Chain A
Amino acid sequence: MLRPQFDHRLEGHGWLRSRRGEDRSDVRRHRAVSVGRRLAALVGVQVATAAVLLGVAFAGYGRLASDLAFMQRYVLARIEGISDAMEAAAQLRHAAEAATKTPPDIPLMKRWAHDVRAYLDRYRNEWAVTENRSEDALRFRAVLERSNRGGLAAEETAAMNDVGSSLQRIETKLLAPPGSDGQIFASIEDDARDLRTALRRLLRVQVAFVEVVNAAIDRRSAETHWWMSVVGLVGLLGSLALGLQVHRAIAPRIRRLVHEVQRFKELGVHQRVLEEGRDEIAILANALDAGFAAIAARDRERERFLALVAHELKTPMTSILGFTELALARPDNGQVRAHALDVVRSHASRLGRLIDDLLLAASTRSGALPFRPQSVDVACVTQKVAAEVAVTMPGRNFDIDTTRGGCLLADEHLLTQAVWTLLTYAAAIAEVGHRILVRLAPADARLRLEVVFDAPSVPAEEMERAFAPFASVQYEGGSGVRNAVGLFLCREIARLHGGSLLAMNATGVQRMLVLDLPA
């Protein structure tokens, strides 16, 4: 039974080579999550880390800015005012002291007292920690509580009260009628000294407030730095862990692929790369597998083809060599010599066709098929080739019908070769003993060469594979007819002539090859 040698089974593609346990576990572990997802997770962690860091930085430094603004308007502003009040108190004391020698400027002294009063009132209204109900005051009380410096508020109240009582006494004495004795000014001088002492005490409280706020700002700053460090460290560790995962998911598998590629390159042996996952590496490995399998299959096909070509060339050579030696060994036997020459001519012709077939097929592959058109009698060519094939393939019976043939503009050498390939192929796959019908049929300014034969075991779809370059037909206990180059050359010659070659099912077990050429 004839069997076309087109079955591209990927032998060796299905078996798996043994691997080290760690490789297997690597594969199992890493095939679950794709490399793309791992990379996305890595980038995600890095972006999230950056976002959290930015958030922490904005929040931390925003609060620091708020604390600084709070210190500016609530803590430092009162210190500016207290220096003016202390200056006024000092002026009051000097004026009271000088009143024993020169008449005092009471209105001026009242203005100084008024300045201190204004500061004290403003202090009570805007800054006093315990008395004020403003948002800043509440916030500052909380700061004091957190700093365990709540006693400062009481000190502030006491200092304010001292300032208030000293000022009250000065104001009362300044309201006394003019001409009072010098004892009053001496008393005002004492009060002014007390006032200044109380203001200095209040100033010390303010300085303590500044220290508290400053410490709070320092704590806030350190806290911000800590959070940023924690987030940065967590992000760094997360990125490192994911980066390591990505590395472990990619690197060993890439190494394996490189190893397989190198092995294939050096030894030409293809073993399937074990990548069962669906991630990008597995896709790459499968693509490599498919490529290697295709190359290996092509190599096997080429080896089969070369073996077949060698077989095809050696078979006629056996007869040529044998009959030549026989003719030389029996120079006196004219009958043997004549028969030997006939056999040699027949097989040499077949050998020439095979070599032409190979060379033309190779030229077709390289796009260098020579084309020299001239008027060719297709009927004549068909009859000549059929007779030639019939001689070299005994047992093949051709029914030739070329009555409707005609002349074509064609390359005679190529057309002859195409018809030879066609008839040889048909003879190769046709049932033994069945007739092969060859007929010419003109139709619509075209000429069809139809070859009809019985080949139940080879459907037209199977015949289509013979159109592949260097496809070969090998028989297994078949008819003894082989065609080395399939129908690739025939189809290419048909195309070169503006025609086509088709393989089709005719009726029942009949198959038909149609060489269609423009007339």
Chain B
Amino acid sequence: MSDDAILVIDDDADLRDLVRLVAEPTNIDVMEAATCAEGISKLRANRARVRLVLLDYFLPGIEPACCARELCSLVSSTVIVLCTAAVDPAARAAEVGLSRWLAKPFDVDVLETLVREAARPQHQAPSTASANAGRV
């Protein structure tokens, strides 16, 4: 088990699969959650390991803002990126209180960059969301 992990919270199994396959060459675990409740549970259990959270905007059973708020309350240094296919992803990110977003459909290179950044030692990784605010 790696010291670092990525948490993918998305009800689309193919997207979770894609992230897992992209992260395969790196030494980082990918944890998958189909619902926000599941994601919160996994983040709470692995908050020390999780470097990056990819959060889908639409999730079953909870408002996007509530989900983002719950996740933010659990971790302070973890980068949380909103993944959305909405027309205005920046507005959606602002709506849920996040400063970083990934607009669907995204380039796999962008996803790989995110995963690699998450796999770096913590002192080299982007420290806060504000450091790289905006589209990732």
Contact = CB atoms under 8 A, between A and B. Distances in A.
A314 B59 contact: no
A343 interface: yes
B8 to A, nearest CB: 12
A479 interface: yes
B32 to A, nearest CB: 12
A194 to B, nearest CB: 127
Contact of A314 (B11, B36, B104): B104
Contacts of B17: 339, 343
Interface in A343-400: 343, 346-347, 394-395
B62 interface: yes
B60 A477 contact: yes
B39 interface: no
Interface residues of A, number: 31
Contacts of A336: 21
Interface in B60-117: 60-64, 66-67, 85-87, 104-109, 111
Interface in B11-54: 11-15, 17-18, 21-22, 34, 36
Which of A306, A326, A339, A475 has the largest count of B CB atoms less than 10 A from its CB?
A: A326
A413 to B, nearest CB: 27
Chain B contact-residue range equals 20 to 34
A347 B86 contact: no
Q: By DSSP majority rule, is chain A's interface helix, strand, loop, or mixed?
A: helix
B79 to A, nearest CB: 20
Contacts of B106: 318, 321-322
B85 A480 contact: no
Interface string B112-127: 0000000000000000
Nearest to A479: B60
A315 interface: yes
Interface of B: 11-15, 17-18, 21-22, 34, 36, 56, 58-64, 66-67, 85-87, 104-109, 111
Interface of A: 1, 306-307, 310-311, 314-315, 317-323, 325-326, 329, 336, 339, 343, 346-347, 394-395, 432, 475-480
Which 10 A/B pairs are nearest by Cβ-Cβ distance? A480-B11, A314-B85, A318-B105, A325-B108, A318-B104, A317-B105, A319-B14, A322-B18, A321-B105, A311-B85
26 contacts: A1-B61, A310-B85, A310-B87, A311-B86, A314-B104, A315-B104, A318-B15, A319-B12, A320-B105, A322-B106, A322-B108, A325-B107, A326-B21, A326-B22, A343-B17, A347-B14, A395-B11, A432-B61, A475-B58, A477-B36, A477-B59, A477-B61, A477-B63, A477-B67, A478-B60, A480-B58
